């Protein structure tokens, strides 16, 4: 990896730098404004032209798919870190949730149904679920997390807190407070009120991604002929 960089100066170095700048800007802007953010906003954030994005990703959807996958991989890494964590189950779960929220891992959740699902995404999603399952199971086994908590409650919790309407410093602080409140609510204890209803189903979670998803194959041709 170092060797490749060695020979790249000048223009190619700029291109390589832009690879990262562009992706980071996309992550930041989509996390803040949601998947509906215009491409021009990404370009402005990155300090580059719009075409710089389209030279790297064929379409906005392709970029969103890439970011989705990155989020999932980040979530997986975070779950692995939590499973390796030494300490009680509740603080392991807390660490996982905090890292995921900090990385806005669930920010693209509302885009479900508007972008097609790739095979990589499906695979990453299932792996992530298994790891999170294990994390919650362990945390409940040592009695530090409420026993009526379902794995998907954690997923939805992350998704809820991944969306930040405005990004003032004050707003970020408030989200941190609300998250702390919710995390306290995850603890075991006899003062807990029972969670209402039935635990959420995995089908309802992953099913959102297929609702109105057209396959990428049959896209309308831009030139009306």
Binding interface with a copy of itself (CB under 8 A) = 109-110, 149-150, 152-153, 156-157, 160, 165-166, 168, 170-171, 173-174, 176-178, 180-187, 189, 191-201, 204, 208
Q: Select 18 or 155, whichever has its Cβ closest to a copy of itself.
A: 155
Instruction: Give, in degrees to the nearest 5, the angle at Cα 157 between 159 and 175.
Output: 80
**Among positions 14, 24, 81, 126, the unique one binding DNA when judged by CB under 7 A:** 14
Q: Which does 178 bind (CB under 5 to 8 A by kind): a copy of itself, DNA, none?
A: a copy of itself
Contact of 88 with 144, CB cutoff 8 Å: yes
Shortest gap between Cβ of 25 and DNA (angstroms)? Answer: 11
Q: Select 41 or 83, whichever has its Cβ closest to DNA.
A: 41
Q: Which does 83 bind (CB under 5 to 8 A by kind): a copy of itself, DNA, none?
A: none
Rounded Cα distance between 66 and 207, Å, is 20
Structure tokens at 71: 């989020």
Closest CA to 35 of 103, 111, 101, 100: 111
Q: Select 69 or 150, whichever has its Cβ closest to DNA.
A: 69
Contact of 43 with 50, CB cutoff 8 Å: yes
Q: Which does 48 bind (CB under 5 to 8 A by kind): a copy of itself, DNA, none?
A: DNA
Task: Give the count of residues interacting with DNA (CB under 7 A).
Answer: 31
Helices marked H in the chain — which ranges? 2-6, 10-33, 39-46, 50-54, 60-84, 89-102, 119-141, 151-162, 169-184, 202-207
Q: SS3 letters for 71-125?
A: HHHHHHHHHHHHHHCCCCHHHHHHHHHHHHHHCCCCCCHHHCCCCCCCHHHHHHH
Q: Does 55 bind DNA (CB under 7 A)?
A: yes
Contact stretch for DNA (CB under 7 A) within 49-57, 77-85, 142-150, 197-205: 49-57
Q: Which does 55 bind (CB under 5 to 8 A by kind): DNA, a copy of itself, none?
A: DNA
Task: Give residues in contact with DNA (CB under 7 A).
Answer: 1-5, 9-12, 14-15, 18, 36-40, 47-52, 54-55, 59-61, 220, 222, 224
């Amino acid at each position: 990896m170092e060797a490749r960089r060695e020979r790249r100066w000048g223009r190619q170095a700029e291109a390589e730098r832009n690879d990262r700048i562009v992706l980071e800007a996309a992550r930041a802007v989509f996390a803040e404004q949601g998947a509906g953010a215009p491409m021009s906003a990404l370009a402005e954030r990155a300090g580059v032209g719009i075409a710089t994005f389209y030279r790297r990703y064929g379409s906005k959807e392709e970029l969103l798919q890439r970011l989705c996958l990155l989020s999932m991989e980040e979530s997986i890494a975070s779950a692995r870190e939590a499973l390796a964590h030494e300490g009680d189950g509740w603080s392991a779960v807390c660490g996982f949730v905090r890292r995921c929220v900090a990385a806005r891992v669930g920010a693209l959740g509302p885009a479900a149904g508007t972008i097609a699902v790739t095979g990589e995404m499906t695979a990453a999603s299932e792996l992530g679920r298994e790891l999170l399952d294990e994390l919650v199971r362990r945390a409940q086994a040592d009695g530090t997390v409420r026993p009526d908590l379902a794995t998907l409650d954690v997923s939805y919790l992350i998704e809820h807190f991944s969306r930040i309407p405005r990004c003032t410093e004050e707003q970020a602080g408030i989200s941190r407070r609300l998250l702390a409140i919710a995390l306290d609510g995850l603890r075991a204890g006899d003062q807990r009120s029972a969670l209402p209803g039935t635990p959420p189903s995995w089908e309802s979670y992953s099913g959102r991604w297929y609702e109105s998803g057209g396959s990428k194959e049959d896209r309308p041709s831009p030139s009306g002929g």
